[in-house]
A and B are shown apart, each in its own frame.
Chain A
Amino acid sequence: MKREDFRSLTESGIVLLDGATGTNLQKYGMPSGVCPEQWILDHPDAITELQRKFVSAGTQILLAPTFTANRIKLSEYGLENDLIDMNRQLIELSKKAADNKAYVAADITMTGKQLYPMGTMTFEELVDIYKEQAAAALDAGADLFAVETMMSLQETRAAIIAIREVCDLPIMATLTFESDGRTLFGTPPECVPVVLEGLGADAVGINCGTEPDMMRDLIKRMYEYSRIPIIAKPNAGMPELENGKTIYRMTPEEFASACSSLCDCGAAIVGGCCGTTPEHIASLRKAVEGKTKKPVLKEKRRVISSERKIYEISDGTFNVIGERINPTGKKALQAELREGKMNIVRSFAQDQEKAGAAILDINVGTNGIDEKQTMLNVITEVSEVSSLPLCIDSSYPEVIEAALRIYPGRALINSISFESEKLSRLLPVAKKYGAMFIFLPVSDEGIPSDIKVKHGIIEQALICAEQAGLDRQDIVVDALVGTVGADRESALKCISTWKFCQKRGLATVCGLSNISFGLPERSFVNAAFLVMGISNGLNLAIANPSQELLMNSAAAASMLMAYENSDIGYIKRMEGYRERVASLQPVSTPSAASVGNTKKEPDPEDKGRLYKAVIDGDKANITELTKEELDKGAAPSDLINGQLIPAINKVGEYFNEKRYFLPQLIASAGTMEKSIEYLTPLLTDNGDDSKKETIIIATVQGDVHDIGKNLVALMLRNYGYNVIDLGKDVPADTIIDAAIENDAAVVALSALMTTTMMNMKDVVTEAKNKGYGGKIIIGGACVTESFAKEIGADGYSGDAADCVALVKKLLA
């Protein structure tokens, strides 16, 4: 199939693809975990029957089951040496099933291995892997290629470049989108046609991932930016789990009607992915039969793109190309590039994006470096930290070519001149990688001083570009600003060139600062010149976006030109501006005086004087008060259970809520301790069930923080436990020996340093070795619940109050 044939096929009406392969083959008994390609070859009848059904349902293009027949995937099953043979056999199977009633596309997808910088695979390695599969498919007689279920735009680029370097068959490329409307790797739909069309894709679109309705908006956005047909291959609904099996619920009718509405959004090639059967395709055929499809847009738009964002250089917009990533005159940057470091580059990229640049210029030309390699490294780095599209700036064509090859987007070349060698070398490069370019009207004779000659050169260049297969929309003309010092009319000459270009549908750009060379206080001249540019239709300027005067003037001028949304742009920018210059940001809060001071609120559950004394931490009077209560005839155990325990519970609550802090907690606990001390001898011995278990507590070896531990011990004592405190910096064996000797029910350990918390594990091990049978609980600021689990402790609590509850629970 020739690319023209594909085009006329799609022009003749909506084209029908097939449905799912994987989910249908499972019904034929394909188990999970096997190499699908091998299984298909072992059970050829299954695929033949399935694909025949698709063809009779109306499929016009069948996808051969070569989905993962690439070297990396096959090698997972030790089958990499059979690659050529397998691709051939699989394609032959599909051709047999198609029986000349449908075309057969070789199917290609992701390898599962990640590209540098995320993984270790280089771009060229990946291109080679795809080339190998493409060549095998070509030999086997595939009619065209389908690159599908791609999550990464960059890997899709690699596949398309590979196929194009092998043959000239049509290519359909589809990506999979996540619920946030972008691919897993972050690409929004409009980037896809912008980047892939120029590389040589014949149709682009979406498959898998989502149900048809969720694709509507994505398809619309793709359609708006595409001059090739759009593909939609949704799932039969979202996957749902039923009895451990994944199922798709959409019926053929539901699927068909949802899919046909995708055609209204701009899809021209439709089919089904996971969960769609031949019946789904048959219904779909009925639904789209006779439907008039939206025609593919003819007009090319001036759009460049990164992997994550497009930028359209349309008339009625002005924006800045950030110029700072350029080592000329920047010693620190030069030194970094020489050392292979990227810190400055990264921060320049981020700063410029924040300051409002729309595109970033990348120039790494300095002595003492390998410019090509450095350019590639910088592009990789910048693409990671910034989502802005890039402008590739170098005087060496080979650097530009290498950069365009690995740039995961559609770049702007800076620049191509009319010098014969550059022109003939770079126009084909721009074409091959589908880039836009800045045109410099400089000929072999140098910079034309006569404006007519300059305009003549621009006309000529346009013709050359069109001959090379490029369009006028791919060109941005640099008017070549001269300094006013050398020629008083140089600004006026620029204006005339801008007008000339605008009439011919050519976008314009200019390097600003040259105009003011040699003048005092250049920033005013630059700003004035910029405003003149904007009012005469200038589209882009190469400048430093961190200059407030320049950027603010540009925002204001765009607004006065009534550019779309430029008023909002101005207002937004001014908000940011105020923040950048203003230092004071008042927040008003109600005055304190009007509400009086913070007081402990009256406790509605006041249970008596001892209760109150503990809450207030009234250590001085507690013994007196206890005596008085006893004199009044209260039983000691009632005082403990009716007042002291409820009070310390309340205090614990306050502490938990952060209402009370350490001094308050300690004062309260200490108050209670004193009262208990007085009451204990008076408790009648016969009710001996109140006698509680023994707890050993210690700060572990290497750590001498004991404030928390002491507090925990104090609290536990107040609740009646027999606490033995071994102190701080206590070795594991001492702790466990004491626990066994005293028949302790609980060992409580404290540590506050990340370096000593590991010593808690030693205690747990020691306990095992010596056969200690009680519980071990741990705490201290650096300790966490999961650490407790990790070392095999029985419990953890974050503070002293919770510790009591924890012990209660463990001993219940």
Chain B
Amino acid sequence: MEIVCPGGKNILKYLLEKNVTIDTPCAGNGSCGKCRIKLIAGDLPVTKTDKEHLSEEELSTGIRLACAAVPDKPVRIELNELGNVNAVTLNYKSAAYDNGVCGIAIDIGTTTIAAALTETQSGRILDVYSAENSQRRFGADIVTRIRFDSLNHNGELTNTLLDDMVKLLNHFAVKYPGIRKNIRKIVISANTTMIHTLLGKNTASLGVYPFAALTLGGEEMTLKTLLRGRYSAIDKNTPVYILKGFSAHIGADIASGITALGLLESDKTAVLCDLGTNAETVLVKNKRIYAISAAAGPALEGGNISCGCAGVDGAVCSVKIQDSVCTVKTINNKPVCGVCGTGVIDCAAELLKNGLVDKTGRLHDRYFIKGYPLTRYTDGRILYFTQDDIRQLQLAKSAVASGIEILLKRTDTSPEDIDCMYIAGGFGYYLNTDSAAAVGLLPRELCKKARLVGNTSLMGAVKLCRERDNTDMYNSFTEIMLSNDEDFNSSFIENINFTEE
């Protein structure tokens, strides 16, 4: 779309004010080079940041980076708006609401917010809701948002999130006018950083070692206190319960997942892995919980990838290469707009299978320079999967694989001992586990036992709308710190390579 921006104001800031979201993975830090816009009319001098990320040719056609652009006078620019992320919520049969007592379960994810309206008596889910976390415009990943918060100290993250909460509550209230006075409990599950921003706490300490959390959750309060004076259609005295997490990196969302799957109530040995920018992985063994957090980086969510995008409509989500013909499938069969995480993994797996990428991750000579042509955009341009994209995937998959390797090693567990691996999270839901095993993201042995379970954080919150949580859980928890682990670095380097089948 085209938009006119006023003089004297940073273009990215102006777009934020206008609620026009473009891709800004580094939230205006000037390091990602993704916030591209095109100058159509007026003047926008080339900045230093532009020069770092853009080629001469791009600059001469008017491409600039929004986060560094401040025009003197109004300018007319062209940009690509970011689409909505397809959120995974829960499977449920919709049922008519008969004015009974209800609870609202909420999962605040870094990318999406999901909620379920559930009937307290029967435990039935009446309806679900999902929307993008509006904080996304302050950065795609958590650390970038923490940095934004610590640089600005203006409560912007909290305000944005509370506005999202109001929107969510009003959504249900408008749809089911009867629930306004019938909500008995609101249960919120979220990672530790989201809980900080929800409660208006300073996130600065979460951004640097040793990652001291000011709270892990566990708060109870009224809706009125939570919303800090915002108006919502739900009774303001409704009790709100915020689930408790384990540590700065292993948050309430994971605790909620353990509850949802009843892992502690079973004698089985199980792994729960929440794949995303960070792969939080827990092993439950002999009623004890062991966890790691592996910082995979944005590649699994399509960030860092030249043609990458989030799981939006039109993102390539699966790839097949057969007899030299490459066919792709896009989310909701919409016109191609980029490749999302599952597409990245699929693509790498297929290239490996067809001998187009070698064990070190190097593309076949034929494609080395430009990349492998995956498909076409509607305007006929070819979408290339490049050498650098493979390199980014290698870093990400190695971080996850090495994290799991260390987790098993430190707990004396072998893959054979594990009864089931649950893969949670929006991204995990669409994962092709064969491809995941082929690229070495997850151990092949475990992939055979994998179950894609969707949003377990929300599932747990739904469960806790009726039950109290198991506080014993917090006493049987051990976190294995990868950053201090003596073997992690060498595993990480080793696992960057692909293994031959």
Contacts and interface: CB of A to CB of B under 8 A. Distances in A.
B170 A335 contact: yes
Interface in B328-354: 328-330, 333-336, 354
A184 B356 CA distance: 49
Nearest to B314: A579
B123 interface: no
Given A118-B74, A782-B29, A782-B31, A710 B489 contact: yes
B6 A118 contact: yes
Contacts of B327: 584-587
Contact of B493 (A335, A350, A666): A666
Interface residues of A, number: 70
Contacts of A384: 3, 18
A704 B30 contact: no
A337 to B, nearest CB: 12
B486 interface: no
A662 B150 CA distance: 33
Contacts of A661: 360-362, 391, 394, 496
A588 B328 contact: no
Chain B interface main SS type: mixed
Given A753-B143, A753-B207, A786-B49, A117 B18 contact: yes
Interface in A182-215: 182-186
Contacts of A576: 378
B492 interface: yes
B147 interface: yes
A3 interface: no
Nearest to A589: B324
A331 interface: yes
A603 interface: no
Contacts of B26: 754, 782
B325 A586 contact: yes
B50 to A, nearest CB: 10
A735 to B, nearest CB: 16
A659 B325 contact: no
A143 B394 CA distance: 75
A590 B208 contact: no
A587 B382 contact: yes
A589 B322 CA distance: 10
B416 to A, nearest CB: 27
Given A598-B365, A661-B496, A589 B373 contact: yes
Interface in A744-776: 753-756, 759
B95 interface: no
Given A331-B174, A585-B336, A663-B494, A786 B48 contact: yes
Contacts of A601: 365
B31 A184 contact: no
Interface string A567-607: 00000000010011111111111111101011001000000
A40 to B, nearest CB: 25
Nearest to B374: A587
B393 to A, nearest CB: 11
B150 A755 contact: yes
A184 B42 contact: yes
A661 B40 CA distance: 39
A644 to B, nearest CB: 21
Contacts of B49: 784, 786
Interface residues of B, number: 78
Interface string A292-309: 000000000000000010
B10 to A, nearest CB: 14
B333 A582 contact: yes
Nearest to B484: A704
B31 A707 contact: no
A182 B391 CA distance: 44
Interface string A650-675: 00000000111111101000000000
Nearest to A594: B324
Interface string A669-712: 00000000000000000000000000000000111111100100
Contacts of B374: 587
A658 B388 contact: yes
Given A704-B209, A754-B143, A587 B355 contact: no
A178 interface: yes
A601 B6 CA distance: 54
Interface in B59-89: 74-76
B372 interface: yes
Contacts of B467: none
A385 interface: yes
Interface in A779-806: 782-787, 789
Given A587-B373, A658-B387, A704-B209, A385 B330 contact: no
A12 B75 CA distance: 41
A661 B328 CA distance: 28
Contacts of B368: 659
A789 B52 CA distance: 13
Specify which of A331, A579, A705, A784 lies most central, judged by the most chain B CB atoms within 10 Å of its CB.
A784
A118 B336 contact: no
Contact of A598 (B42, B330, B364): B364
A663 B395 CA distance: 11
Contacts of B6: 114, 118-119
A595 B335 contact: no
A755 B489 contact: no
A224 B387 CA distance: 53
Given A186-B2, A585-B375, A592 B324 contact: yes
Contacts of A710: 489
Contacts of A618: none
A755 B146 contact: yes
A180 interface: yes
A729 interface: yes
Given A755-B204, A756-B208, 18 more contacts: A117-B18, A179-B41, A182-B76, A185-B4, A186-B76, A339-B170, A586-B326, A590-B324, A595-B365, A598-B358, A598-B362, A663-B493, A701-B208, A754-B29, A755-B147, A783-B31, A784-B52, A786-B30
30 contacts: A117-B18, A118-B4, A118-B6, A118-B74, A151-B74, A178-B41, A182-B41, A331-B175, A335-B170, A580-B333, A581-B333, A583-B330, A583-B333, A585-B328, A587-B325, A587-B326, A590-B324, A592-B324, A592-B364, A658-B391, A662-B496, A704-B483, A710-B489, A753-B143, A753-B208, A754-B147, A755-B146, A755-B208, A756-B207, A789-B48
